[in-house]
Amino acid sequence: MHSYYGKVAMPKAELHLHLEGSIQAETLLAIDPALSAAEIQANLKCRTFEEFLRGYIWITGKLQTPAHYALATRHLLERLAAENVTYAEITLSAGVVLWKQQDLAAVYEAVWKESQRSRVRTYWILDAVRHFGAEHGMDVARFAVTRREHGVIAYGIGGDEARGPAEWFRDVFAFARDGGLHLVCHAGETCGPESIWAALAIGAERIGHGIAAARDPALLQHLRESDVPLEVSITSNVATGVVASLEQHPVRQLYDAGVPIVLNTDDPSFFNTTLTREYELAERTFGLPVDRLAANSFRYAFAAPARD
Ligand SMILES: [Zn+2]
Protein backbone atom coordinates (compact mmCIF):
# COMPACT_ATOMS: atom_id res chain seq x y z
CA MET A 1 0.00 0.00 0.00
CA HIS A 2 1.15 3.50 -0.77
CA SER A 3 0.17 6.48 1.33
CA TYR A 4 -1.79 9.27 -0.33
CA TYR A 5 1.39 11.34 -0.53
CA GLY A 6 3.24 8.35 -1.90
CA LYS A 7 0.74 8.36 -4.76
CA VAL A 8 1.17 12.08 -5.27
CA ALA A 9 4.94 11.56 -5.53
CA MET A 10 4.63 8.58 -7.89
CA PRO A 11 5.36 9.68 -11.50
CA LYS A 12 2.14 9.33 -13.47
CA ALA A 13 0.93 9.94 -17.00
CA GLU A 14 -2.54 11.26 -17.78
CA LEU A 15 -3.87 10.02 -21.11
CA HIS A 16 -7.59 10.88 -21.02
CA LEU A 17 -8.12 14.41 -19.84
CA HIS A 18 -10.29 17.06 -21.48
CA LEU A 19 -8.93 20.59 -21.23
CA GLU A 20 -12.43 22.06 -21.07
CA GLY A 21 -13.46 19.59 -18.36
CA SER A 22 -10.49 20.56 -16.22
CA ILE A 23 -11.33 24.24 -15.86
CA GLN A 24 -11.83 25.33 -12.29
CA ALA A 25 -13.43 28.37 -10.67
CA GLU A 26 -10.03 30.08 -10.50
CA THR A 27 -9.77 30.15 -14.30
CA LEU A 28 -13.43 31.00 -14.88
CA LEU A 29 -13.23 33.99 -12.53
CA ALA A 30 -10.08 35.23 -14.24
CA ILE A 31 -11.88 35.02 -17.60
CA ASP A 32 -15.15 36.50 -16.37
CA PRO A 33 -14.99 38.28 -13.01
CA ALA A 34 -18.76 38.88 -13.12
CA LEU A 35 -19.45 35.17 -12.56
CA SER A 36 -20.77 34.22 -9.15
CA ALA A 37 -19.60 31.22 -7.17
CA ALA A 38 -23.17 29.92 -7.18
CA GLU A 39 -23.39 30.09 -10.98
CA ILE A 40 -20.08 28.25 -11.37
CA GLN A 41 -21.10 25.60 -8.88
CA ALA A 42 -24.49 25.12 -10.54
CA ASN A 43 -22.87 24.53 -13.91
CA LEU A 44 -20.08 22.26 -12.69
CA LYS A 45 -22.39 19.86 -10.89
CA CYS A 46 -22.96 16.55 -12.52
CA ARG A 47 -25.45 13.86 -11.56
CA THR A 48 -26.33 12.52 -15.00
CA PHE A 49 -24.61 12.30 -18.36
CA GLU A 50 -27.05 14.88 -19.78
CA GLU A 51 -26.31 17.31 -16.96
CA PHE A 52 -22.59 16.84 -17.60
CA LEU A 53 -23.01 17.61 -21.31
CA ARG A 54 -24.99 20.78 -20.49
CA GLY A 55 -22.27 21.95 -18.11
CA TYR A 56 -19.58 21.15 -20.68
CA ILE A 57 -21.35 23.32 -23.24
CA TRP A 58 -21.68 26.14 -20.68
CA ILE A 59 -17.97 26.05 -19.91
CA THR A 60 -16.91 25.98 -23.56
CA GLY A 61 -19.11 29.06 -24.07
CA LYS A 62 -16.90 30.89 -21.55
CA LEU A 63 -13.79 30.19 -23.62
CA GLN A 64 -14.07 33.03 -26.10
CA THR A 65 -10.47 33.79 -27.10
CA PRO A 66 -7.21 31.87 -27.64
CA ALA A 67 -5.91 33.56 -24.47
CA HIS A 68 -8.73 31.98 -22.46
CA TYR A 69 -7.73 28.54 -23.73
CA ALA A 70 -4.08 29.29 -22.93
CA LEU A 71 -4.95 30.31 -19.37
CA ALA A 72 -6.95 27.12 -18.86
CA THR A 73 -3.95 25.15 -20.13
CA ARG A 74 -1.53 26.92 -17.81
CA HIS A 75 -3.69 26.34 -14.74
CA LEU A 76 -4.23 22.70 -15.64
CA LEU A 77 -0.54 22.01 -16.17
CA GLU A 78 0.33 23.70 -12.87
CA ARG A 79 -2.04 21.32 -11.10
CA LEU A 80 -0.70 18.28 -12.98
CA ALA A 81 2.89 19.19 -12.16
CA ALA A 82 1.97 19.58 -8.48
CA GLU A 83 0.85 15.94 -8.30
CA ASN A 84 3.81 14.71 -10.33
CA VAL A 85 2.00 13.99 -13.57
CA THR A 86 5.11 14.09 -15.75
CA TYR A 87 3.49 13.31 -19.08
CA ALA A 88 0.07 14.25 -20.44
CA GLU A 89 -1.94 13.77 -23.59
CA ILE A 90 -4.59 16.45 -23.26
CA THR A 91 -7.73 16.41 -25.36
CA LEU A 92 -8.86 19.68 -26.92
CA SER A 93 -12.45 19.68 -28.15
CA ALA A 94 -11.40 21.01 -31.53
CA GLY A 95 -14.82 20.15 -32.93
CA VAL A 96 -16.43 22.46 -30.40
CA VAL A 97 -14.02 25.27 -31.32
CA LEU A 98 -15.13 24.92 -34.95
CA TRP A 99 -18.78 24.70 -33.89
CA LYS A 100 -18.35 27.99 -32.01
CA GLN A 101 -16.92 29.41 -35.25
CA GLN A 102 -13.68 30.33 -33.55
CA ASP A 103 -10.26 30.28 -35.19
CA LEU A 104 -9.06 26.73 -34.46
CA ALA A 105 -5.52 27.47 -35.69
CA ALA A 106 -5.21 30.40 -33.24
CA VAL A 107 -6.72 28.44 -30.35
CA TYR A 108 -4.45 25.46 -30.97
CA GLU A 109 -1.38 27.67 -31.32
CA ALA A 110 -2.20 29.25 -27.94
CA VAL A 111 -2.61 25.98 -26.05
CA TRP A 112 0.38 24.33 -27.69
CA LYS A 113 2.68 27.25 -26.94
CA GLU A 114 1.47 27.33 -23.35
CA SER A 115 2.00 23.60 -22.93
CA GLN A 116 5.57 23.87 -24.19
CA ARG A 117 6.35 26.13 -21.24
CA SER A 118 5.39 23.47 -18.72
CA ARG A 119 7.71 20.85 -17.28
CA VAL A 120 4.91 18.33 -17.90
CA ARG A 121 5.73 16.75 -21.24
CA THR A 122 2.51 17.43 -23.11
CA TYR A 123 0.95 16.30 -26.35
CA TRP A 124 -2.49 17.08 -27.72
CA ILE A 125 -5.37 14.95 -28.90
CA LEU A 126 -7.80 16.83 -31.11
CA ASP A 127 -11.27 15.45 -30.99
CA ALA A 128 -14.45 15.85 -32.95
CA VAL A 129 -18.05 15.66 -31.76
CA ARG A 130 -19.27 12.35 -33.12
CA HIS A 131 -22.98 13.24 -33.22
CA PHE A 132 -22.13 16.21 -35.47
CA GLY A 133 -21.33 13.69 -38.20
CA ALA A 134 -18.47 12.56 -40.41
CA GLU A 135 -18.07 15.77 -42.38
CA HIS A 136 -17.51 17.69 -39.16
CA GLY A 137 -15.14 14.94 -38.06
CA MET A 138 -13.15 15.33 -41.26
CA ASP A 139 -12.84 19.10 -40.74
CA VAL A 140 -11.15 18.41 -37.39
CA ALA A 141 -8.97 15.62 -38.86
CA ARG A 142 -7.79 17.85 -41.71
CA PHE A 143 -6.58 20.43 -39.23
CA ALA A 144 -5.12 17.87 -36.82
CA VAL A 145 -2.80 16.30 -39.40
CA THR A 146 -1.33 19.71 -40.21
CA ARG A 147 -0.15 20.02 -36.59
CA ARG A 148 1.47 16.58 -36.33
CA GLU A 149 4.91 18.16 -36.03
CA HIS A 150 3.54 20.69 -33.56
CA GLY A 151 2.31 18.68 -30.64
CA VAL A 152 -0.76 16.86 -31.98
CA ILE A 153 -0.29 13.15 -31.37
CA ALA A 154 -3.76 11.71 -31.92
CA TYR A 155 -7.20 12.22 -33.33
CA GLY A 156 -10.32 11.16 -31.46
CA ILE A 157 -14.07 11.27 -31.33
CA GLY A 158 -16.20 12.02 -28.27
CA GLY A 159 -19.77 13.07 -27.54
CA ASP A 160 -22.88 10.94 -27.82
CA GLU A 161 -21.91 7.47 -29.02
CA ALA A 162 -25.57 6.47 -29.58
CA ARG A 163 -26.21 9.39 -31.95
CA GLY A 164 -22.83 9.20 -33.69
CA PRO A 165 -21.84 5.61 -34.42
CA ALA A 166 -18.17 4.85 -35.01
CA GLU A 167 -18.93 3.42 -38.47
CA TRP A 168 -19.54 6.95 -39.74
CA PHE A 169 -15.88 7.76 -39.07
CA ARG A 170 -14.14 4.93 -40.93
CA ASP A 171 -12.77 7.20 -43.67
CA VAL A 172 -12.00 10.00 -41.23
CA PHE A 173 -9.95 7.65 -39.02
CA ALA A 174 -8.13 6.29 -42.08
CA PHE A 175 -7.32 9.85 -43.16
CA ALA A 176 -5.97 10.76 -39.71
CA ARG A 177 -3.93 7.54 -39.52
CA ASP A 178 -2.48 8.10 -42.98
CA GLY A 179 -1.63 11.61 -41.80
CA GLY A 180 0.55 10.12 -39.07
CA LEU A 181 -1.78 10.45 -36.08
CA HIS A 182 -2.75 7.88 -33.48
CA LEU A 183 -6.44 7.11 -33.02
CA VAL A 184 -8.59 7.13 -29.90
CA CYS A 185 -12.30 6.72 -29.46
CA HIS A 186 -14.73 7.12 -26.58
CA ALA A 187 -16.80 3.94 -26.60
CA GLY A 188 -18.63 1.64 -24.23
CA GLU A 189 -19.29 4.45 -21.78
CA THR A 190 -23.01 5.06 -22.29
CA CYS A 191 -23.49 2.32 -24.92
CA GLY A 192 -22.80 -1.40 -24.90
CA PRO A 193 -19.95 -3.64 -26.08
CA GLU A 194 -21.03 -3.29 -29.73
CA SER A 195 -19.89 0.34 -29.61
CA ILE A 196 -16.40 -0.80 -28.57
CA TRP A 197 -16.27 -3.42 -31.33
CA ALA A 198 -17.21 -0.66 -33.79
CA ALA A 199 -14.44 1.61 -32.48
CA LEU A 200 -11.89 -1.20 -32.86
CA ALA A 201 -13.14 -1.93 -36.37
CA ILE A 202 -12.24 1.60 -37.52
CA GLY A 203 -8.79 1.42 -35.95
CA ALA A 204 -9.02 2.87 -32.43
CA GLU A 205 -5.77 2.14 -30.58
CA ARG A 206 -7.08 3.05 -27.13
CA ILE A 207 -10.67 3.06 -25.92
CA GLY A 208 -12.00 5.93 -23.84
CA HIS A 209 -13.85 4.32 -20.91
CA GLY A 210 -14.78 1.00 -22.53
CA ILE A 211 -16.32 -0.26 -19.32
CA ALA A 212 -19.15 -2.00 -21.17
CA ALA A 213 -16.51 -4.56 -22.26
CA ALA A 214 -17.08 -6.21 -18.88
CA ARG A 215 -20.34 -7.60 -20.30
CA ASP A 216 -18.71 -9.34 -23.29
CA PRO A 217 -16.21 -12.17 -22.64
CA ALA A 218 -15.18 -12.33 -26.32
CA LEU A 219 -14.39 -8.62 -26.27
CA LEU A 220 -12.37 -8.93 -23.05
CA GLN A 221 -10.32 -11.65 -24.68
CA HIS A 222 -9.84 -9.56 -27.82
CA LEU A 223 -8.70 -6.49 -25.87
CA ARG A 224 -6.27 -8.61 -23.87
CA GLU A 225 -4.83 -10.41 -26.88
CA SER A 226 -4.55 -7.30 -29.05
CA ASP A 227 -3.17 -5.28 -26.11
CA VAL A 228 -5.66 -2.44 -26.55
CA PRO A 229 -5.98 -0.49 -23.29
CA LEU A 230 -9.09 0.96 -21.73
CA GLU A 231 -8.76 4.52 -20.44
CA VAL A 232 -10.75 4.04 -17.25
CA SER A 233 -12.08 7.00 -15.25
CA ILE A 234 -13.76 5.59 -12.17
CA THR A 235 -15.14 8.78 -10.61
CA SER A 236 -16.39 10.03 -13.97
CA ASN A 237 -18.45 6.89 -14.50
CA VAL A 238 -20.05 7.16 -11.07
CA ALA A 239 -20.71 10.91 -11.41
CA THR A 240 -22.40 10.62 -14.81
CA GLY A 241 -24.40 7.64 -13.59
CA VAL A 242 -23.17 5.19 -16.23
CA VAL A 243 -22.41 2.88 -13.32
CA ALA A 244 -24.93 2.72 -10.47
CA SER A 245 -22.41 3.06 -7.64
CA LEU A 246 -18.69 3.08 -6.97
CA GLU A 247 -18.81 -0.51 -5.73
CA GLN A 248 -20.43 -1.61 -8.97
CA HIS A 249 -17.70 -0.17 -11.18
CA PRO A 250 -16.23 -3.04 -13.25
CA VAL A 251 -12.57 -1.90 -13.12
CA ARG A 252 -11.53 -4.89 -11.00
CA GLN A 253 -13.32 -7.32 -13.31
CA LEU A 254 -11.64 -5.73 -16.34
CA TYR A 255 -8.26 -5.89 -14.68
CA ASP A 256 -8.73 -9.51 -13.64
CA ALA A 257 -9.67 -10.38 -17.23
CA GLY A 258 -6.18 -9.23 -18.24
CA VAL A 259 -7.35 -6.15 -20.13
CA PRO A 260 -4.76 -3.34 -20.03
CA ILE A 261 -6.07 -0.54 -17.78
CA VAL A 262 -4.90 3.06 -17.56
CA LEU A 263 -6.41 5.36 -14.92
CA ASN A 264 -7.48 8.88 -15.85
CA THR A 265 -9.60 11.78 -14.60
CA ASP A 266 -11.53 12.59 -17.82
CA ASP A 267 -13.13 15.87 -16.64
CA PRO A 268 -11.75 16.49 -13.15
CA SER A 269 -13.61 19.76 -12.52
CA PHE A 270 -17.00 18.21 -13.07
CA PHE A 271 -16.16 15.07 -11.17
CA ASN A 272 -14.23 16.75 -8.37
CA THR A 273 -11.26 14.44 -8.66
CA THR A 274 -7.53 14.31 -9.34
CA LEU A 275 -5.36 11.60 -10.83
CA THR A 276 -3.91 10.86 -7.39
CA ARG A 277 -7.44 10.39 -6.06
CA GLU A 278 -8.22 7.92 -8.88
CA TYR A 279 -5.16 5.88 -7.88
CA GLU A 280 -6.29 6.06 -4.26
CA LEU A 281 -9.73 4.72 -5.22
CA ALA A 282 -8.26 1.97 -7.37
CA GLU A 283 -6.13 0.74 -4.50
CA ARG A 284 -8.47 1.20 -1.54
CA THR A 285 -11.80 0.28 -3.12
CA PHE A 286 -10.67 -2.27 -5.68
CA GLY A 287 -7.35 -3.54 -4.34
CA LEU A 288 -5.53 -2.79 -7.58
CA PRO A 289 -1.72 -2.48 -7.71
CA VAL A 290 -1.04 1.20 -8.31
CA ASP A 291 2.60 0.67 -9.32
CA ARG A 292 1.44 -1.46 -12.21
CA LEU A 293 -1.26 1.06 -13.17
CA ALA A 294 1.26 3.91 -13.10
CA ALA A 295 3.59 1.85 -15.29
CA ASN A 296 0.68 1.25 -17.69
CA SER A 297 0.05 4.98 -17.94
CA PHE A 298 3.50 5.37 -19.51
CA ARG A 299 3.45 2.11 -21.42
CA TYR A 300 0.30 3.05 -23.35
CA ALA A 301 1.29 6.67 -23.92
CA PHE A 302 1.67 7.31 -27.63
CA ALA A 303 5.03 9.08 -27.31
CA ALA A 304 6.61 6.28 -25.20
CA PRO A 305 8.15 8.69 -22.72
CA ALA A 306 10.69 8.11 -20.02
CA ARG A 307 9.21 8.12 -16.51
CA ASP A 308 10.97 11.25 -15.29
ZN1 LIG B 1 -13.66 11.68 -22.05
As annotated, the active-site residues are: 189
Look at residue 305 and tell me whether its pLDDT is greater than 70: no
pLDDT at 157: 97
pLDDT, tens digit (0-9, with 9 covering 90-100), for 249-279: 999 999 999 999 999 999 999 999 999 999 9
Greatest CA separation for the chain: 53
Q: At what angle do helices 170-178 and 134-146 cross, to 10 degrees?
A: 10
| Nearby residues of 252 by Cβ (< 8 Å), 6 or more positions away | 286, 287, 288
Q: Which of 208, 211, 198, 205 is nearest to 228 (CA)?
A: 205
Q: Ligand 1 centroid to 16 CA: how many Å?
A: 6
Q: Ligand 1 centroid to 97 CA: how many Å?
A: 16
pLDDT, tens digit (0-9, with 9 covering 90-100), for 232-245: 999 999 999 999 99
Neighbours of ion ligand 1 (CB under 5 A): 266
- Dist CA 44 CA 41 (whole Å): 5
Q: Ligand 1 centroid to 218 CA: how many Å?
A: 24
Map out the domains of the chain as residue ranges. 4-299
Look at residue 306 and tell me whether its pLDDT is greater than 80: no
Q: Ligand 1 centroid to 186 CA: how many Å?
A: 7
Give Cα separations from 214 to 68, 193, 194, 220, 239 (angstroms): 39, 8, 12, 7, 19
Burial tier of 304 (Cβ tally within 10 Å: 0-12, 13-18, 19+): exposed
pLDDT, tens digit (0-9, with 9 covering 90-100), for 172-197: 999 999 999 999 999 999 999 999 99
Look at residue 46 and tell me whether its pLDDT is greater than 90: no
CATH class of 4-299: alpha beta
